[in-house]
Amino acid sequence: MSIDAAPRDAFQVRQLEPSDLDAMVAIDARNVGRRREEFFRLKLKQAFADTGIAMSLAVVQDGALIGFALARVYYGEFGVTERVAVLDVIDVHPDFRGRGAGAALVDQLRTNLLALGIQTLQTEVSWEDQDLLSFFRREKFRVAQRLCLDLDLPATRV
């Protein structure tokens, strides 16, 4: 966290709205180097189809969207029998990183999930993404006791 970090409560966190799509795509494009409009259109559609406590959140400052988080609940996946939440995306505009906006999103998500009785929030991150790994470490995420496996489908085609 930077020295000029604002307190977590300095940011307004609210539920994502359909009108947030363009700002989400723009923030993500700045961070990943390409536009993923269809990906976020589908994620928002899924988020709005779900009912109950908000798990798709926006962080706003002076009325402008500066970050967002997309999460969902699984009711037993991959051999896990209890409900867990999965954080699909967390993204903050580069101008606001290190100031507490991401932490504010995680705080609100934690509150919402605990209200549902969910005890675990999972996510994945690239081993090489040291900035994101550091953020998750500060937020008290820990290495999971499971392995994620990939299968290169074209390379294994018989």
Scanning the structure block, which residue is given the tokens 């090489």? 128
- Residues whose CB is less than 8 angstroms from the CB of residue 70 and which lie 6 or more positions away in sequence, other chains included: 16, 43, 47, 55, 56, 87, 88, 89, 90
Q: pLDDT band at 150, cuts 50/70/90?
A: confident
Rounded to two decimals, what is the model's pTM?
0.82
Please report whether residue 129 resides in a domain.
yes
Sheet holding 121-122, edge to edge: 12-15, 56-61, 64-75, 83-92, 121-122
Structural domain contains residue 51: yes
Domain of 147, in residue numbers: 8-156
CATH number of the domain at 58, please: 3.40.630.30
User: Does a structural domain hold residue 3?
Assistant: no
Task: Please tell me the total count of domains within the chain.
Answer: 1
pLDDT (tens digit per residue) in 120-135: 999 999 889 999 999 9
Does residue 93 lie within any of the structural domains? yes
